[in-house]
Structure formats: C-alpha cells, structure tokens
Amino acid sequence: MNIQKKHYNRIGIFLLLVFVVPMFILAGCERPLTPPTYDEEVEPVDEVELFGIVYGLDEVNGEIKIRTIGYETEHILTFTGAADVKNKYGDIMPMSDVELGSIVEVVYDANRDKLLSLYMSDEVGISKVEEVSGAVFDYVENTVRINGTTYPMIDDVMAFSDNVQIEINEICSEDQLTVWMYNDKVCAVYVELGHGYVRLSDYASYMGGMVEIGYDVIVPVTEDMLLTVREGTYELRITKDGEVGTKQVKVMKNQETNISLADIAIQPKETGSVMFKITPGDAKVYIDGKRVNTEGAIELTYGKHKLNILADGYKSYSGTFTVNFAYKIKEYTLEKTDESSDTKKNDSTTEQGSTKEGSSTTENSKEAGGTTENTMENSTTESSAVKDVSTTTGKKTSNKVILTAPIGASVYFDGEYLGIAPISFTKVTGSHIITFSQTGYLSKSYTVNFTDDGKDVTLAYDNLVLISSLIDE
C-alpha cells in the first residue's frame, strides 16, 4: 500500500515538471529583458555674473541680448518665467518692462547660456537721464552735450528707437532722448520721441522771412525747404516784415507732412519805384539799413523809409522819405568837408580805389571763413558746381563736402534745399542735419559735425527705404 502511494506521488511530481515548469519558462520568454541602467551624469550649473547693456529682447522666443561694458563682448541668453527679474529697488518686474539700453547685472548658467537672474543695476556711477531735449552729438570728438554739459561717449555707444538698434548718427537734435551713463560716460541712448519732416508750399510771399515750428526750429524761409521737426502737434509761426501767419501742424515720426501757406499768405503790398540822383556819384547809399545800388530805379513798399548817404570828403546825410507814388526821382547833393582835407583825399584817389578793391576781397573772404589767399586759391581749384549754403549756424570754410550717395535723392542742409545727390556744397563748421528725400521713399536725416581743418569731406549714406517694401502683402 505504501509502495503504491509513493508511486502515485512520483507520477504527480513528474506531471508537475512536465506541464507547470514549461509554462513558467514560456511566460519568462514573453517579457523583454532590459539591461541594467545607470543615471546619466548631470553637468552642474556654472553661474557667471555679467554687467552690461541690454541691446535686444525677444519675448516670443525667450531670448535677451547683453553687451558687456568695457569688454565689447555680446551674449545671447535664453530665459523662462522662472528667471528672477527685479528693478533697482528689488521689486519683481516683468521682462517686458526691461528697456533697451538699460544697464543691468545678470547671472546666467554658462553651460546652457540660460538667464538665471537680472537686476536693474543700482551700482554707484550709473545714471539714467530722461526727457533730454536738444542734445548735440559731436562724432569728431565722440562727445554729446546734454543740458549744457559735455559728456564723452564710450567707443561702442549704442542707440535705439522703436525697440530696434539704430546708428548713433541717426539721432537728431530735435529728438527727445533717454540716456544711460556709467562713470559720466554715455553708454546707451534711446529715442523717446523721434522726428518727422515738414515741407512748405505756397510760401512765395514769405521768402526771406522766418519760420518757427516744433522744439527749436527757427530758420529763414528758403525755396523748397524741408524741415526736420520732433514728432508732435505744434503751431507753425511764420513772419516777414511785421506780418505773422500761424497754422496747426501734426508731425508724424519718419513721415513727411506737406503744409500749404496759401490760406495765411501775406497780401502783396503796394510799391513804388524811386530813381536816386546823388552827388557825388560814388556815394554809398543805405535804405532802411541796407546798402542799395542806385544805378537804376529801386522798388520800395509804400510808407516811410530811412535814408543814409556816405562819401569820402563829404558830410554824411541821414533822413527819411515817404513812398506814396508809382514813380519818382529824388535828388541829393552832399556838402563837401573843408578843402584842405578834401585835397589830400583827392590826391590819393587812385590809392584809395585800390584799397577799396582789396578790402572788398578781404571782407568777402572773412564772410567765407578764410583768408584772402585761401579764398582766391579756392576759387581756382574748386568746381563751380559747389553749392553755397545759407545756414545761420557755424562758420563757412574754404573747403567742401562731397556727398556721393544716396544717388537721386534730394539733399537738404539744415532744412535748406541744395540739389540732387551726388552733390558738393560748402563745408560749414559745427553740428548740422543732412536730410534726404525722394518720391516713394522714407525720408531720412543724419547728424554731421565739421571742423575747419583745411580738408574736404566725402560722405556716403545708405539708399533710402522704399515705402512699398514696408507694406504687408
């Protein structure tokens, strides 16, 4: 009995081995074998501090651009909402409030070029000046004059407008600026309010008068002028001979506004012609303070005028006369001085004539800003095509400015029309605005600085931007 029971136990074990074990083996085969894994080595954060200027900000792609001050190295860093951004008072601020040109202190992960923190720097020596008007940039000396004080600019000074970087010479004295400085050196400039252009038409009755518009534009009325004016709304004021006209003007940034003066034109005044017969015939005649040529009839407006007559060897005459006629002849005879002095003067008539001619040449050369010798040399060497300018600021030199591009654009110097580029014109010292205008293109202004260094200057600028290229199709 026991033997039989053992037999059955052996059969059971056998069956278990035959059916159950293979099932475990098959089940094990269906599960994929995975090799042992090891944690990848994570590169640690390498924190680097940076002191520089923000010159680019792309919130869509999460990138910020920083240029270090003093080293001229540039860094493009990525950022997320986890970046710690604070103003100079330690308050949290959105990245969108970070202005181009700001001087900041940054900590970033050098292994990943990832921004960790950004603080608006409160370091001693950093200053931000807002609402700056009338700044004068001198690119020869690399300085800028702000509120009566002259500051040097760093070599890699940066300029911005409309959240994009621009060239520093695209800033005009009419612009309103924010300026960042470090240790009293200008590092960055942002254009808060830019400039547009005002073109006058129907201005004939105001030729020779003065026009005032905008922040500080006060210039003579010349033919086909184009004025550079700060964006905004102003009252244009134009005057001539006591007559005043005004008109509201809205100036848009980088746009040209045409203003007709037809509705405020001065009504022509009634005039009469006067023929002067004066003894001696070489007397100098001044009417209302201006010297006039009395060889022919002189047209004058109705009313009272002041007359002065001067001649060597004669007593001068001063008086007034009234014009209330179409045409009249007026005669004046000067009284001679004592005979002894008159004889001496008559004996030296030839010498005096020579002296007058020489002094006239000297006077003209002084007006041109050079010596007689320089003026004569200039007249023989310079092309007759050199355009003279009638600017009210600076000193004319005996040299010229050669402007080669943009070809085909109208050229304006401090608002005065000079002609079509390429063109040459008189070199005038100081800071000036050169403006280019062309039909179908955006007008563009640049600030230039000239010195009386005895050299001609050659300038060339980029082609103007076609307006149609800015329109989205």
pLDDT digits (tens, 9 = 90+) for 256-306: 999 998 888 877 678 889 999 999 989 999 998 888 998 889 999 888 898
pLDDT of residue 344: 44
pLDDT digits (tens, 9 = 90+) for 374-397: 333 333 333 347 888 876 678 899
pLDDT digits (tens, 9 = 90+) for 427-468: 999 999 999 998 889 899 999 999 999 999 999 999 999 888
- Provide the pLDDT confidence category of residue 17 given band limits of 50, 70 and 90: low
Question: Are residue 276 and residue 333 in the same domain, yes or no?
Answer: yes
pLDDT of residue 190: 97
Give the residue from 264, 296, 322 where a domain finishes.
264
In a domain, 354, yes or no: no
Dihedral over Cα of 276, 280, 286, 290: its sign: positive
Give the residue from 73, 95, 120 where a domain finishes.
120
**Domain that includes residue 258, residue range:** 195-264
pLDDT of residue 440: 86
In a domain, 182, yes or no: yes
pLDDT of residue 365: 31
In a domain, 29, yes or no: no
* CATH number of the domain enclosing 71: 2.40.50.320
- Provide the pLDDT confidence category of residue 15 given band limits of 50, 70 and 90: low
DSSP 412-461: EETTEEEEESSEEEEEE-EEEEEEEE-TTB--EEEEEEE--SS--EEEE-
Choose the weakest-confidence range: 20-34, 156-170, 262-276: 20-34
Question: Are residue 277 and residue 342 in the same domain, yes or no?
Answer: yes
Query: Measuring CA to CA, how many Å separate 269 from each of 222, 264, 307, 320?
Result: 20, 15, 20, 20
Average pLDDT, the chain: 81
pLDDT of residue 373: 33
Residue of 178, 217, 175, 181 lying closest to 200 (CA atoms) = 217
Residue of 152, 171, 155, 163 lying closest to 55 (CA atoms) = 163
pLDDT digits (tens, 9 = 90+) for 339-367: 544 444 444 433 333 333 333 333 333 33
Q: How far from the centroid of its chain's Cα atoms is residue 202's Cα?
A: 27
Give the residue from 247, 264, 281 where a domain finishes.
264
* CATH number of the domain enclosing 398: 2.60.40.1120
DSSP 78-99: E--TTSEEE-TTS-B--GGGPP
Choose the weakest-confidence range: 12-26, 50-64, 444-458: 12-26
Question: Are residue 92 and residue 58 in the same domain, yes or no?
Answer: yes
Question: Are residue 182 and residue 216 in the same domain, yes or no?
Answer: no
User: What would the mean pLDDT of 4-25 be, rounded to a whole number?
Assistant: 52
**Based on the structure, what is the number of domains in the chain?**
5
* CATH number of the domain enclosing 313: 2.60.40
